[in-house]
Amino acid sequence: MIILGINDGCHHNSAASILVDGKLVASVELERISRIKNDGSFPHAAIDEALAIAGLTAEDIDMVAKANLSRWQQIPYLNRYYQHIAKAGKTDTLIRNFFWKKQFERYRRVLHRRKQPLGILAQKPYQTVEHHLAHAASAYYASPFGNERVGVITLDGVGDFSWGSVWIGEHGKLQHVDHLHQVNSIGLLYSAITIYLGFKANRHEGKVLGLAAFGNPEPLLSRLLAHTNSENWDDLFNPKLVRVSLKFGANLGQSVVRELCADLSREDIAAGIQAYTEKLICKWVQDRVKELKVTKLALAGGVFSNVKLNQLILALPEIETIYVHPNMGDGGLATGAAFEVYSRLNQGLEPQFNQQVYLGTEINRDTALAALEKQGITYEEPENLALTVARLLADSKVIARADGKMEYGPRALGNRTVMAACNDPTINDWLNKKFDRTEFMPFAPVILQEHAKEYFPEWKEDHITARFMTLTYNVSDIAKRNIPAAVHIDNTARPQVLRREDNPDYYDIIKEYYDVTGVPSVINTSFNMHEEPIVRTADEAIRAFQAADLDALVLGPFLIRKVSAVQ
């Protein structure tokens, strides 16, 4: 059975995924093709690319799974939303008008789609999957927990009028426990403060997280708690904070944020919202796992891109381990929708963990060579590429790697990566300038799994989610000495723990670097210019390499040095 999963975005992160007999074999976000960050257009190109990666055609598809409910299916959720707005003392007229305005926009979108016909796919049967059920399915069915009983939690800004959900995953099925109402969205509150600090919502919340370590959470933490009913998540926000959820980016919400953040530094504001998020969500998760009688959690939704929050959840005494879906944001909805529909059609689906998540467009010898020859780039093909790259890294060179299939999700995991030695604490300034980036968090390290415990004492082998760079760890003294460039001011780092079986060529570079230097770790940052998606093709890799003025580029089996590049 072949299922095409689609996230038709409407707002951001449109994507397509292919499931073959319950196994995820391909997934691509539209932004990687269109080069428009978080592109929410209908994912025609992503569908075509996912089919090509899987070696399929549209005729092969048995079922289409669409993430997010139609506007008509949303009406029961909307009515419940109205009830909460009324309880908060607000008129629902504005919201009703907004809802039907969006309904008209979706109708126009359907009309536009008819101008770009889906061909045979338009004739295929399809099912829709509610937003948070799609998130939950992405986390549970891709988890490493098999048929164990696990808790499944989703948290984000908003989707289908909810900002979160709770489920039990057991015997290949999801059992619904609860949905959280949009009016109480901590995710939207975090985004509202992201905007207030001059950043972009749905894109720069990670900058707020990095900035938080430099500030004092008080008094913003206390100000926020004064408007929070932390013991009742059905009415978590009082009317003042509800205004933020209603219009987090407009004056209705921003006026509340301005009042709460008055006279505070940017660092203290960031620290306040981060501490508030950690305090409330950790306590709520702790209560949920006790009620559900579980010790393992599968997590998805944009809130769980907050790596420090994930560290604290893992540290809860009730939690044995967690799994954060590698594409935890809305780009993962296409996958979740496909999983859920497959489970419906087959009376369940035992979770099938993907040992690696290289599911996108491939750069190989042929595509690399074609791009190099087209652009007239001089290249070499070292007999021992890994050792050659390792020696360049040891010589303080910055090297991009674009090889193999593109990573699934927002993190670069070696195949569309920029590498550098971790021994220069000033790298956060000068390397970010090369990419026109402004970041407050240090670059993340990749580390050989054999040495992960030595550098990150709380790491355990069953922390599979650390392979995908989805949580931070406190660092050891040897990490502070050997990889200071990857250590944040709060003495944490966000590692990618690498096994050879997951990416042999990437692993061999780090292993050769370890043999040369005695350090089993290098910087791993995504290969893209500021505000651009991660590179996908060989041509894009060459352009980014030249624009950033890097020292070398590994493109498939080839090595390109800066002096050889045609400027």
pLDDT tens digits along 271-301: 999 999 999 999 999 999 999 999 999 999 9
Same domain, 305 and 156: yes
Supply 8's token pair. Answer: 């038709």
Return the closest-CA partner of residue 496 out of 532, 449, 455, 458: 449
Average pLDDT, the chain: 92
Same domain, 152 and 223: yes
Which of 318-322's residues contact partners 24+ apart within 8 Å by CB, and which partners?
318/286, 318/289, 318/290, 319/289, 319/295, 320/295, 320/296, 321/295, 321/296, 321/297, 321/460, 321/462, 321/463, 321/464, 322/296, 322/297, 322/298, 322/465, 322/471
Has residue 115 got a pLDDT over 50?
A: no
Classify the C-alpha dihedral 81-84-86-91 as positive or negative. Answer: negative
Instruction: Supply the pLDDT for residue 195.
Output: 97
Supply 226's token pair. Answer: 């004064």
Expressed as residue numbers, the domain containing 475 is 359-564
Final residue before a domain boundary, out of 302, 324, 346: 324
Instruction: Supply the pLDDT for residue 531.
Output: 82
Instruction: Supply the pLDDT for residue 565.
Output: 42
Instruction: Supply the pLDDT for residue 95.
Output: 56
Same domain, 492 and 505: yes
CA 49 – CA 122 distance, rounded (Å): 17
Say which DSSP state 338 is in.
Answer: H
Has residue 109 got a pLDDT over 70?
A: no
Has residue 79 got a pLDDT over 90?
A: no
Is residue 136 one of the residues assigned to a domain?
no
Is residue 401 one of the residues assigned to a domain?
yes
Strand 63-67 with 126-129, pairing: parallel
Same domain, 158 and 101: no
Domain count, the chain: 3
Confidence of residue 563 (pLDDT cuts 50, 70, 90): low
pTM for the whole thing? 0.94
CATH of the domain at 307: 3.30.420.40
Return the closest-CA partner of residue 16 out of 470, 549, 558, 41: 41
Is residue 138 one of the residues assigned to a domain?
no
Has residue 142 got a pLDDT over 90?
A: yes
Is residue 483 one of the residues assigned to a domain?
yes
Same domain, 396 and 490: yes
Same domain, 296 and 441: no
The more confidently predicted of residues 92 and 137 is: 137
Same domain, 167 and 91: no
Supply 115's token pair. Answer: 């101008």
Return the closest-CA partner of residue 33 out of 19, 45, 22, 44: 45
Is residue 202 one of the residues assigned to a domain?
yes
pLDDT tens digits along 451-468: 999 999 999 999 999 999
Return the closest-CA partner of residue 472 out of 489, 453, 452, 492: 492
Instruction: Supply the pLDDT for residue 51.
Output: 97
Same domain, 350 and 363: no
Has residue 90 got a pLDDT over 90?
A: no
Same domain, 147 and 110: no
Is residue 159 one of the residues assigned to a domain?
yes
Same domain, 125 and 174: no
Is residue 433 one of the residues assigned to a domain?
yes
CA 167 – CA 220 distance, rounded (Å): 32
Is residue 248 one of the residues assigned to a domain?
yes
CB atoms within 10 A of CB 61: 20
Instruction: Supply the pLDDT for residue 92.
Output: 55
Has residue 15 got a pLDDT over 80?
A: yes
Say which DSSP state 234 is in.
Answer: G
CA dihedral 94, 97, 98, 103 (to 10 degrees): 160
pLDDT tens digits along 248-266: 988 889 999 999 999 999 9
CATH of the domain at 518: 3.90.870.20
- Determine which helix (DSSP H) or strand (DSSP E) holds 542, and give its type and residue range: helix 538-548
Say which DSSP state 443 is in.
Answer: P
Same domain, 313 and 342: no
Longest CA–CA separation in the chain, Å: 71
Confidence of residue 84 (pLDDT cuts 50, 70, 90): low
Same domain, 154 and 198: yes
Instruction: Supply the pLDDT for residue 132.
Output: 97
- Determine which helix (DSSP H) or strand (DSSP E) holds 2, and give its type and residue range: strand 2-7
Supply 490's token pair. Answer: 């709060």
